[in-house]
Structure 1
Amino acid sequence: MSDTQKAWPTELRLKADKKTLLVGFDNGETHEFSAEYLRVCSPSAEVQGHNPSQKKTVPGKQHIGIMKIEPVGNYAVRIHFDDLHNSGIFSWEYFLELAHERDKHWGTYVRELEEKGLSRER
């Protein structure tokens, strides 16, 4: 197991605008995530599917917010978005993956939107 996978959260703070989540780890890393990024990369089966061919591209989430965050055991949180999506369980490891591979995840998302004629707005 790498040091990244062993990192433990020390801070989880939803900014006042409800559109940015800050996650700090005991390895010194701190990352900010937009609600949009978290929503379109939700680890839920609804978004990810049960295999890669079932993955969904979720349009129209540019202005989404986070209503609340609740712990799931001691390994993750469930994020409740204001579009009522709340089935994704975000583990600490997944937050780090989203941070370290942001360009890859976001680039894939934007490319899929374009290929499918979809928009971040609608």
Structure 2
Amino acid sequence: MTTERWPTELRLAKDRRSLRVVFDDGTAFDLPAEYLRVTSPSAEVQGHSPAERKTVPGKKDVEIVGVEPVGNYAVKLVFDDLHDSGIYGWNYLYELGAHYEEKWQAYLAELAAKGLSRERLR
């Protein structure tokens, strides 16, 4: 049985580079926009199976330009690169916060292994 997480606060930073999420158990996370973008739950990023998951480069300077509610179970984040197809459920946001360090390090390792960069291509 999984515990349903409920946010009590969602706050976009003034610089649009992070989203603060506070949950009803008192846990709070400041999730960087880049991290949220590269871990988007969208099919574009995650694919339709683990083998189809994409490593998304070039998002170091991405910003969140919109936070739109989806019912009472999630939010859709809109990024300045026009990505807007990920629906971030409350449990997924909690998981991203709780496992930030390991997920971020895995992402950086994937970039390095594939010869990709966090920097936007010019």
Shared fold, TM over 0.5? yes
C-alpha root-mean-square deviation of aligned residues, in Å?
0.9
TM-score w.r.t. the length of structure 2 is: 0.95
Out of 66, 80, 84, the position equivalent to 1:82 is 80
Partner residue, 1:59: 57
Q: Distance in 1 between matches of 2:12 and 2:74?
A: 15
The AA in structure 2 aligned to 1:102 is Y
Matches within 5 A, 1:77-116: 77-116=75-114
Identical-pair percentage: 57
The AA in structure 2 aligned to 1:72 is V
Q: Distance in 2 between matches of 1:49 and 1:108?
A: 18
Q: After TM superposition, what 4+ stretches of structure 1 lie above 3 angstroms from structure 2?
A: none
Partner residue, 1:31: 29
* CA deviation after TM superposition for structure 1 residue 65, in Å: 0.1
Q: Distance in 1 between matches of 2:102 and 2:49?
A: 19
Q: Distance in 2 between matches of 1:120 and 1:79?
A: 20
The AA in structure 1 aligned to 2:80 is D
The AA in structure 2 aligned to 1:38 is L
Q: Distance in 2 between matches of 1:7 and 1:108?
A: 25
SS of alignment partner, residue 6 of structure 1: coil
TM-score w.r.t. the length of structure 1 is: 0.95
Q: Distance in 2 between matches of 1:84 and 1:56?
A: 17
The AA in structure 2 aligned to 1:99 is G
The AA in structure 2 aligned to 1:9 is P
Q: Distance in 2 between matches of 1:6 and 1:69?
A: 21
The AA in structure 2 aligned to 1:51 is S
Structure 2: gaps (5+ residues):
none
Partner residue, 1:119: 117
Structure 1: gaps (5+ residues):
none
Q: How many residues align?
A: 120
* CA deviation after TM superposition for structure 1 residue 7, in Å: 2.4
Q: Deviations over 1:52-108 (max 9, x none)?
A: 110000001000001111000100000000000000000000011101111221111
